[in-house]
């Protein structure tokens, strides 16, 4: 059970970190926020791939789902643009 939790934490951290790296601009969140982003993106990516292909997905779908979650979070919660000069400004 502990090994599963460690695996999920590392998986979420890796997927969330790659998503934060892929989307330009600052996203101030800690390690736990990055893990939550990665795990949520993994769930979202798995659901989308299951709906499209009828089977689960891997790490690439987890990163793409995390990027989608981060873009939606920035657009609707932080009210910041995704591209352009406004994307580089820190959130208020």
Q: What is the pLDDT of residues 52-90, one digit of tens each?
A: 988 877 899 999 999 999 999 988 988 888 888 877 888
**Domain interval for residue 49:** 32-92
Lowest-confidence pick of 11-15, 19-23, 40-44, 74-78: 74-78
Is 19 inside any structural domain?
no
DSSP string, 10-46: HHHHHHHHHHHHHS-S-----HHHHHHHHHHHHHHHH
Rounded to two decimals, what is the model's pTM?
A: 0.87
DSSP string, 68-81: HHHHHHHHHTS---
Is 27 inside any structural domain?
no
Is 5 inside any structural domain?
no
Is 87 inside any structural domain?
yes
| Domains held by the chain: number | 1
């Amino acid at each position: 059970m502990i090994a599963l939790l460690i695996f999920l934490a590392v998986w979420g951290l890796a997927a969330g970190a790659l998503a934060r790296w892929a989307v330009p601009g600052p996203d101030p969140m800690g390690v736990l926020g990055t893990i939550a982003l990665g795990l949520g993106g993994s769930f979202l990516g798995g659901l989308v791939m299951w709906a499209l292909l009828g089977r689960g997905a891997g790490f690439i779908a987890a990163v793409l789902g995390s990027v989608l979650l981060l873009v939606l979070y920035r657009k609707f919660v932080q009210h910041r643009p995704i591209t352009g000069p406004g994307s580089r400004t820190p959130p208020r």
